[in-house]
Structure 1
Amino acid sequence: MGIIAWIILGLVAGAVARMLIPGKAPQGMGITFALGIAGALLGGFVATQVLHVSGIQGFFDLSTWLCAIVGAAVLLGGYHLITSRRPDRRVGRR
């Protein structure tokens, strides 16, 4: 797949993963899409290199989309956990 296909796949995977993560999303759409692209790449890498699954068959293959969505959901979930535990440091807040 070409780089444009990876970007499109990551954008859609990020949007789908955002719908799957419960709770209020602390990030905007820009971060969601960036994490979606990174998650799609991470999911494809893990599927092919670590798990030895041929997860990247083509743009319209179901396993490619599942790898991308799972990777994006993992990154978005991690981002949600990290940002939700951050203490509120605004002046006057307790």
Structure 2
Amino acid sequence: MLSLLWTALIGLVVGALAKLIMPGKDPGGILITMIIGIAGSFLGTFLGRLMGLYREGQSAGFIMSLIGAILLLAIYHFFKRRQAV
């Protein structure tokens, strides 16, 4: 139970930093920010394993989680911009 709380807290921090770094209007409130951070961690782990940075069973660190969250926001902005045109 405590690990879920820790994951949510780190996800919130990572998501908030990613929103702060990425320019433009971003979606949602605190819950969406947390989900973006957690999903960014999963994406960072996946990309890190593809690049050989992490072994099976290891998860992404803070920086790779932040990179994953920024990539998710960049993808969101790309599709939002395409719909507006």
On whether the aligned pair clears a TM of 0.5, the verdict is: yes
**TM-score, structure 2 length as denominator?**
0.74
Partner of residue 80, structure 2 = 83
Q: Percent identity?
A: 32
- Name stretches of at least 5 consecutive residues in structure 2 with no aligned partner: none
CA-CA distance at 1:36 after TM superposition: 1.7
Contact 1:14–1:72 at 8 Å: present in 2 too?
Answer: yes
How many residues get paired? Answer: 80
- Name stretches of at least 5 consecutive residues in structure 1 with no aligned partner: 58-62, 89-94
Partner of residue 71, structure 1 = 68
Q: Name the SS for the 2:83 alignment partner.
A: coil
Q: Name the SS for the 1:86 alignment partner.
A: helix
Contact 1:21–1:73 at 8 Å: present in 2 too?
Answer: yes
**TM-score, structure 1 length as denominator?**
0.68
Q: Name the SS for the 2:84 alignment partner.
A: coil
Query: Is residue 40 from structure 1 mapped to residue 20 from structure 2 by the alignment?
Result: no
CA distance in structure 2 between the aligned counterparts of 1:41 and 1:6, rounded to whole angstroms: 11
Larger helix share, 1 or 2: 2
